[in-house]
Structure 1
Amino acid sequence: MKITELLSNETIILDLHADSKQEVLDELADQLDHAGKLEDKEAFKNSIMEREEQSTTGIGEGIAIPHAKSAAVKTPAIAFGRSKSGVDFESLDGQPANLFFMIAASEGANNDHLEALSRLSTFLMDENFRQQVLDATSEEEVLQAVNDKENEVDGPTEEESAGSDQRILAVTACPTGIAHTYMAAEKLSETANDMGISIKVETNGSGGVKNRLTEKDIEEADTIIVAADTKVEMSRFHGKPVIETGVGKAIHEAEDLLNRAVNENAPVYEHEASASETSSEKDGRSGFYKHLMNGVSNMLPFVVGGGILIALSFLWGINSADPESSQYNAFAAMLNTIGGGKAFFLMVPVLAGFIASSIADRPGFAPGMVGGLIAITVSGAEGATGGSGFLGGLIAGFLAGYLTVLIKKIFSGLPDALEGLKPVLFYPLFSIAITGLIMMVINPPLTQVYTGISTFLESMGGTNQIIVGIILGAMMAFDMGGPVNKAAYTFGIAMLDAGNYAFMAAVMAGGMVPPLGMAISTTLFKNRYSKEEREAGKTAYPLGICFVTEGVIPFAAADPARVIPSTMVGAAVAGGLSMLFDIGLRAPHGGIFVIGLVGGLGQALLYLASIIIGAVITAIMAGILKKKVTA
C-alpha cells in the first residue's frame, strides 16, 4: 500500500493555526474527523494523549509524529500539518517543530497499512525530503514529494550494512510500534553506513519482529544497542556488551551511540533470570520443555504466594478456616480463602493458558485458560472442583496451543478486509469452543487417571516412599535448575495441588542441599578451593537457605565430575530423610523461612536436621574428592 493512499488532500493542513502542542493535536485530529477517518474523535484524542504521556513524539529536526492505534479510528490515515513559524512540541532536541504527521491506525489495521505508516517515518530521516515538504506551496506538491520518495525507494530498507570488521547489532521498539521504531532503525542504519560500520537492526513493530537477530548474530556481535521504550526480549543478550537507551536517542544521537558501540563503551548485560535459564535459552532449547516452562514460570507466583498463605493460616490450627471448628479464626480463614480459594484455584488455568500462549502466542491464551478451568472441575460443572488437576491442565495447555495454531492456518486465507476480525472473533470463538468441547469429553477419564495416581502415591509408605524421596532429592541436584530439576519441582507442585504435601518437602530439602553443602565445604576445606570459589561459597549460604539451587552452578561448572555426584548424594539423603520423618510442606518455596510451617516444633527440627545432614554429607564428599589448590 502506498503512503498517498493514507495521506490525501482532505487530511493536509498547509498552515496550522495552532500555537501550542495541544492545539496542534486538536487541529490535526479535527482534520481527520472532518475527512471521515474517525469513529470517535474524543476517544482518538485520548489515545493520542496517552501516547504523548509515555514519551514525546517530537523527535527533533523540526519533526513531530503523534500517533495512536485505536478502535476509535474508522479508516487508517495520516494527517499532515505545517507551521512555518514553528510550535514548541517538547521535542527531544528542544527546538520548535514545523512538520507534523499524525498517524491514525485502527486496531484491526493489517500489515500493509502498518508498513506504509512506518515507511513514512523512515522517509522523514531524509533531509531533502523534509525540505521538499517544508517548501511545498500546495497539497498536491506535498503528495507529489511523498510519491517521488516512494518511487525512489526500491525494495525494503537495507537494515544491514557492510563495513568494518566490528559487528554491531541493534534493536528498536516504541510503545505503539508504528513510527519511532522504524525511524530509529533507519537512522542507525544510515549513520552506520556513513561511518563504515557493519550493523544489523531488528525492529519490534506492530506488524511483528522484522529482521530478527539470530543466535549466531548475537554470538558474533561486539556490541548491541537496544533503543526501546517498551519491553523487548533481553535474556538472549546475557553476557554481551549492551547499550540500553530510549528509541528517541537512536533517532537524535545515532552517531554518539555508534561511537560508544565501536569503542565498546558498554556494560556487560546480566539477565536477572538464573544462569541455567539463560543457558537453556542460548542453547535454543524449545518444543515441549520450552512451552511447559513458560506455563510453570507464570504459574509459580500463584503457587508460591497461595501456598505460603495457606500454610500461614494453619498457624492458628489445622481447622482454623472452618467456621464450625473451635479453632476458627477469621483472619486465618481470610488467608486460607485468598491462598487456596483464589490463588491456588487459578494455578492450573494459568499453567494451561501460558503453555498455550507459548505455542500459539496471544490467541492461545484464552482457550488455554478455559481448558485449564474445565480440567479442575469433576465433570465440567461450574463450581465442581477437583477434576484432572495438574495433569488435565498440561493436556489442556498443549491441546489449546496446537489447536489455535491449526485454526490460525485455516483462517490465513481470508481476505485482508477481515484481518482485524481474526484475533477478536474467529480465533477465540473456534479455539475456545473446540478446546472446551474436547476437554469436556476427556476430563472425566483424565480425572480417574489423576485420582488413581494420587491415591497410589499417597498409599505408599515405608521403603517405597523413602525411595521416591531419594529420587526426587537427587533430581533436584542433578542439573541445578535445568530440565531434570524442574521436572522434580513440577512433580512436587502437582502433588501439592492433589493434597499430598510430603513430596514438596522432599523436593525443597533436595534443592536446598547443593548450595548449602558446597558453601560448608568451602569453609571446612579451604585448601580445596580457589579464592574465587571461597568467595562464591559465601554467596552460596544465603542462596541455599532461600532454596535457590542455582547457587551451586559456579562450583559445578568448574568441576562437574566431583561436585555433581557430591551434591546428588547429599540431596538424595535429605529427600529420603524428609520422607522417613513424614514431613509435609504446604509452601512450595521459601527455604528456611517456611520450615516452621511443616507442623509442630518437632517436625520442624527433624526437617531442618534432614537438610543439615544432607548438606554436611555433600560438604565432606566434595572436600574428599576435590584436589588441593595452590592458590
Structure 2
Amino acid sequence: MSSVINTSLVRLDVDLGSSTTDVINGLAAVVHAAGRATSAEALAENALEREAKSGTGVPGKVAIPHCRSEAVSEPTLAFARLTRPVDFNGPDGDADIVFLIAAPAGGGKEHLKILSKLARSLVKKDFIQALHEAKTEEEIVNVVDAVLNPAPKDPVAAAPAAATPATSSSVTRIVAITACPTGIAHTYMAADSLTQTAEGRDDVELVVETQGSSAVTPMDPKIIAAADAVIFATDVGVKDRERFAGIPVIESGVKRAINEPAKMIDEAIAASKNPNARKVAGSGQAVAAEEVGEKLGWGKRIQQAVMTGVSYMVPFVAAGGLLLALGFAFGGYDMANGWQAIATQFSLTNLPGNTIDIDGVATTFDRSGFLLYFGAVLFATGQGAMGFIVAALSGYTAYALAGRPGIAPGFVGGAISVTVGAGFIGGLVTGILAGLVALWISSWKVPRVIQSLMPVVIIPLLTSLVVGLVMFLILGRPLAAIMVGLQDWLGSMSGSSAVLLGIILGLMMCFDLGGPVNKAAYLFGTAGLSTGDEASMQIMATIMAAGMVPPIAMSIATMLRKKLFTPAEQENGKSSWLLGLAFISEGAIPFAAADPLRVIPAMMAGGATTGAISMALGVGSRAPHGGIFVVWAIEPWWGWLIALIAGTIVSTVVVIALKQFWPNKATAAEVAKAEAREVANA
C-alpha cells in the first residue's frame, strides 16, 4: 500500500469550507489533481452518497469519508488538516483531521483494508499527535505509511505471549471478539482499545479476534481452551460463538470497548473468579441455566430471533418476487396459468406457441415464442426462491435462538408448515419451537463420549422429531385454519375495511422505519405474495408506497425549509430522496433519531394517507421491493403514484409545521451556530 498516499495528496492547515460537502469536494479535487481520478465531481458524489448513510466521524476529532468510484484509477488516500473544523457526526465534535479513502469501483476490498488499518491507529494518541504536529507533507506521508505498511517484525519477538499458558496464577487470560455492523472502523478501534489497555497491565493477558470486513483469522483453539474469561464487544452476532462455550462472558456493544476498555477488562477478571458468573452457552455443553443467566428476557430474545429470521428471509422474497414480476413482464399477466408446463416442456430450440396443452386442457396465452418461454423460466426461478421463504424464516429464527444445531430443525419445521398449509404463521411458530427445543437439549449433561455427536446428530434429530410431531399431531390444522381465515378475510376486503387496513399498514411502516414494527408489516405483505391473489398484491403495493414516504418527505422538507434543519440533516436530505424512491425506509432514520417527537408522527400521518388511498384505489403490486424502479409491476401505476405523492405531501407539511411551531431547542441552537459561522466567514 506504499503508493496510496504521497505529498501531492496532502494538504496542511487549509480551509476547505464549512460543511462536509465542501471538504469532500476539496479532497476529491486533490485526488483528481494528483492524477488518481478522472473526475473530481464523480468521486465527490460517490463519497457524499456514502456519507449520507452515516457520518464518518470517529473519536479523536477525525473523519474518514470513503467510497468506491468508477472515477478512481487506483486505491488512494488524501489527507487534510483543517484550520476550520467541520462536523462529520463524530462523537467528540467537529473534525480537524480528514482522510478521504478512494478506491476503484472494481478494486475489491483495498479501501476497506486501508480503512481498517487507519481505524486501528486512530485509538493511538501518539498517531493523532503526530498528525497534528507534522510540519511538512513528507512527515504526514511517513506517519501514515508507517501504519499502512508496518515494518516486518522479528518472528521470535512477535510471537504472542498469550499463546503460552501463563505461569502466574495472578494473571487472568482473556479472549475477546469485536464486531460492528459494517465491520470496518469500530471493529478494529475496539480491538486496539482493549489490547492497548491490557498491555499496560501486568494482571491480564488478552488476545482479540476481529470479525470485520477484512479477512477474519480465527483464534487458536489452544488460546480459547486456556482462557479464563471472554469479552464479546459486538453489535452483531458472534461467529462460531460455540467455540467459547462454558467460559465466563462479558458482553456489550462495540462502542463500550472503545470508551471503557479498562472497566470491561476488570469485569472480565471478576467474572473469571465468580463461580456463578454468566457463561457462554453452546451446543453439547453442559451449561446450566443459572450459569447462562441471560441478561435479556425471553420475550426480547424471541423478538430478536424473529427479526433475525425475517432479515435472512428478505433476500429470498426480494429475489423471488422480482423474478416473478419479470416473468409476468416478459410472458404476460396470465403466466401463472401455465408457467411450470412451459418451462419444463419447451426449450430454446422448441419454443411454445400461444396455445399450449396443460393437463389435457388447451390454454391460450397473450404471448408466444421466446418471450413466453423466457417469462416462464423467470417465473419458475422466482417460484423456486419464494418456495424457501417460510423455511428460511423458520430455520434462521431457530438459528438465532440455538445456534447452528437449530438450523436443520427450523428448516424442517418450515417445510412442514408449507405442507400442512400453515404458511408463514406456522413458520414463525416452528422457528421459535425448534430454537427453544434445540437450546434446551443442548443444555443436557451428557457423557463426554457423545458430546461431539450432540450438535450434528442428536440435537437436530430429536428437535426435528419434536417439531414434526407437534405440527402434525397438534398445531398444524389449527394454524392452517388461521391462515385460511386470514386469506378469506383479505379476499373479502372492500370499501371502508380495505381503507382501514391500509391506514394500519401505513402507520406500521412509518413507525420505526425499518425496526420490528416496520418488518412485521413487510412480512405480512410478502407472506401472501406468492399466492398471486388480488388482496395480497394490494397489501404489497400499500406497504411499499407507505415505506417510501418518509425518506422522500424528509428530503423535500430539508430543501423547502433549510433553516429548520441542522447542516448534517441538510446533507442527509440531499440523498434520502433516492433511498425513498428505492423503497429504503431507513433513509429517514437520521432525521427520526435526531428529533423523534416531530419526525415520527409526521411520517406516520403521511404513511396512513398513502395506505388509505392505495387500498381505496385497489392498487396491486407483483413486486415485493424496488420502489419506483418496479412501477411496471404495479397496476394501476397512476393510482400508486397518486397515493405516494399524497402521503409525501402530508408528511412534508406536517413535519415542517411541527418544527416551525414547536421548535427543537437543540436543533435551533445548532442551526444558529452554523449561521453564525457563515456570517463570520462571509
> What TM-score, normalized by structure 1, do the two folds share?
0.59
For 1:531 and 1:375, locate their aligned partners in 2 and report how far apart those are by CA, in whole Å: 51
Residue 371 of structure 1: CA displacement? 0.7
Residue 497 of structure 1: CA displacement? 4.3
Q: Once the two structures are superposed, what CA deviation does each residue of 1:428-448 show, in whole Å capped at 9, x if it has no partner?
A: 221111211211222233212
Q: Once the two structures are superposed, what CA deviation does each residue of 1:133-180 show, in whole Å capped at 9, x if it has no partner?
A: xxxxxxxxxxxxxxxx7876678636685958xx99973266554358
Among candidates 375, 380, 402, match of residue 360 of structure 1: 402
Residue 313 of structure 1: CA displacement? 0.9
Q: Give the counterpart letter for 1:331 in structure 2.
A: F
For 1:445 and 1:414, locate their aligned partners in 2 and report how far apart those are by CA, in whole Å: 36
Residue 460 of structure 1: CA displacement? 0.9
**Alignment match, 1:444:** 477
Q: Give the counterpart letter for 1:453 in structure 2.
A: L
What SS class does the counterpart of residue 287 from structure 1 fall into? helix
Pairing 1:194-343 to 2, within 5 Å after superposition: 207-208=243-244, 210=247, 212-215=249-252, 218-219=255-256, 221-222=258-259, 286-315=300-329, 316-320=331-335, 322=338, 323=342, 324=356, 325-327=364-366, 329-340=372-383, 342-343=384-385
Residue 95 of structure 1: CA displacement? 6.7
**Alignment match, 1:404:** 438
* Match status 1:392 vs 2:426: yes
For 1:359 and 1:124, locate their aligned partners in 2 and report how far apart those are by CA, in whole Å: 32
**Alignment match, 1:136:** none
Question: What is the total number of aligned residue pairs between the two structures?
Answer: 413
Structure 2 alignment gaps of length 5 or more: 1-150, 176-196, 211-215, 232-237, 263-294, 343-355, 357-363, 676-682
Pairing 1:521-600 to 2, within 5 Å after superposition: 521-599=557-635
**Alignment match, 2:417:** 375
Q: Once the two structures are superposed, what CA deviation does each residue of 1:81-123 show, in whole Å capped at 9, x if it has no partner?
A: xxxxxxxxxxx9587889xxxxxxxxxxxxxxxxxxxxx9867
Q: Give the counterpart letter for 2:324 in structure 1.
A: I
1:124/1:498 CA distance change after superposition, 3 Å: closer
For 1:515 and 1:283, locate their aligned partners in 2 and report how far apart those are by CA, in whole Å: 33
Q: Once the two structures are superposed, what CA deviation does each residue of 1:162-209 show, in whole Å capped at 9, x if it has no partner?
A: 958xx99973266554358659999x99xxxxxxxxxxxx99787326
CA contact 2:302–2:401 (8 Å) conserved in 1: no
For 2:488 and 2:447, locate their aligned partners in 1 and report how far apart those are by CA, in whole Å: 53
Residue 511 of structure 1: CA displacement? 0.6
Residue 212 of structure 1: CA displacement? 4.0
For 1:515 and 1:222, locate their aligned partners in 2 and report how far apart those are by CA, in whole Å: 32
For 1:511 and 1:440, locate their aligned partners in 2 and report how far apart those are by CA, in whole Å: 37
* Match status 1:157 vs 2:190: no
For 1:300 and 1:212, locate their aligned partners in 2 and report how far apart those are by CA, in whole Å: 32
Pairing 1:105-184 to 2, within 5 Å after superposition: 125=164, 157=173, 171-172=208-209, 175=217, 177-179=219-221
1:478/1:203 CA distance change after superposition, 3 Å: closer
**Alignment match, 1:495:** 528
CA contact 1:391–1:450 (8 Å) conserved in 2: yes
Q: Give the counterpart letter for 1:488 in structure 2.
A: A
**Alignment match, 1:616:** 649
1:605/1:414 CA distance change after superposition, 3 Å: same
For 2:435 and 2:562, locate their aligned partners in 1 and report how far apart those are by CA, in whole Å: 52
Q: Once the two structures are superposed, what CA deviation does each residue of 1:29-72 show, in whole Å capped at 9, x if it has no partner?
A: xxxxxxxxxxxxxxxxxxxxxxxxxxxxxxxxxxxxxxxxxxxx
Residue 319 of structure 1: CA displacement? 1.7
Q: Once the two structures are superposed, what CA deviation does each residue of 1:343-372 show, in whole Å capped at 9, x if it has no partner?
A: 000110111000111111111110110010
For 1:531 and 1:122, locate their aligned partners in 2 and report how far apart those are by CA, in whole Å: 49
Q: Once the two structures are superposed, what CA deviation does each residue of 1:485-540 show, in whole Å capped at 9, x if it has no partner?
A: 12211211223245411111111111100111111112222333333322221121
CA contact 1:172–1:185 (8 Å) conserved in 2: no
* Match status 1:512 vs 2:527: no
1:546/1:285 CA distance change after superposition, 3 Å: farther
CA contact 2:174–2:227 (8 Å) conserved in 1: no
For 1:206 and 1:408, locate their aligned partners in 2 and report how far apart those are by CA, in whole Å: 11
Q: Give the counterpart letter for 1:610 in structure 2.
A: A
1:206/1:546 CA distance change after superposition, 3 Å: same
**Alignment match, 2:96:** none
For 1:295 and 1:372, locate their aligned partners in 2 and report how far apart those are by CA, in whole Å: 11
For 1:168 and 1:529, locate their aligned partners in 2 and report how far apart those are by CA, in whole Å: 48
Pairing 1:186-197 to 2, within 5 Å after superposition: none
For 1:311 and 1:443, locate their aligned partners in 2 and report how far apart those are by CA, in whole Å: 31
For 1:480 and 1:530, locate their aligned partners in 2 and report how far apart those are by CA, in whole Å: 21
Q: Give the counterpart letter for 2:173 in structure 1.
A: T
For 1:485 and 1:423, locate their aligned partners in 2 and report how far apart those are by CA, in whole Å: 34
**Alignment match, 2:234:** none
**Alignment match, 1:477:** 510
For 1:168 and 1:420, locate their aligned partners in 2 and report how far apart those are by CA, in whole Å: 30
1:457/1:204 CA distance change after superposition, 3 Å: closer
For 2:548 and 2:243, locate their aligned partners in 1 and report how far apart those are by CA, in whole Å: 45
1:466/1:169 CA distance change after superposition, 3 Å: farther
What SS class does the counterpart of residue 508 from structure 1 fall into? helix
For 1:181 and 1:548, locate their aligned partners in 2 and report how far apart those are by CA, in whole Å: 43
Q: Give the counterpart letter for 1:215 in structure 2.
A: S
1:423/1:124 CA distance change after superposition, 3 Å: closer
The share of aligned pairs that are identical, in percent, is 36
Residue 620 of structure 1: CA displacement? 1.6
CA contact 1:215–1:282 (8 Å) conserved in 2: no
Q: CA RMSD in A?
A: 3.8
For 1:497 and 1:597, locate their aligned partners in 2 and report how far apart those are by CA, in whole Å: 14
1:288/1:307 CA distance change after superposition, 3 Å: same
CA contact 1:573–1:614 (8 Å) conserved in 2: yes
Structure 1 alignment gaps of length 5 or more: 1-91, 99-119, 126-148, 190-201, 226-280, 379-386
What SS class does the counterpart of residue 588 from structure 1 fall into? coil
For 2:170 and 2:449, locate their aligned partners in 1 and report how far apart those are by CA, in whole Å: 27
For 2:251 and 2:654, locate their aligned partners in 1 and report how far apart those are by CA, in whole Å: 42
Residue 408 of structure 1: CA displacement? 2.0
1:95/1:524 CA distance change after superposition, 3 Å: closer
Among candidates 470, 481, 487, match of residue 454 of structure 1: 487
For 1:556 and 1:572, locate their aligned partners in 2 and report how far apart those are by CA, in whole Å: 17
CA contact 2:310–2:519 (8 Å) conserved in 1: no
1:590/1:362 CA distance change after superposition, 3 Å: same
CA contact 2:521–2:543 (8 Å) conserved in 1: yes
Q: Once the two structures are superposed, what CA deviation does each residue of 1:424-480 show, in whole Å capped at 9, x if it has no partner?
A: 221122111121121122223321221111111211101110111011111111121
1:185/1:595 CA distance change after superposition, 3 Å: farther
* Match status 1:430 vs 2:462: yes
For 1:434 and 1:319, locate their aligned partners in 2 and report how far apart those are by CA, in whole Å: 42
CA contact 1:363–1:427 (8 Å) conserved in 2: yes
Among candidates 367, 378, 393, match of residue 351 of structure 1: 393
Q: Which moved more, 1:420-429 or 1:154-163?
A: 154-163
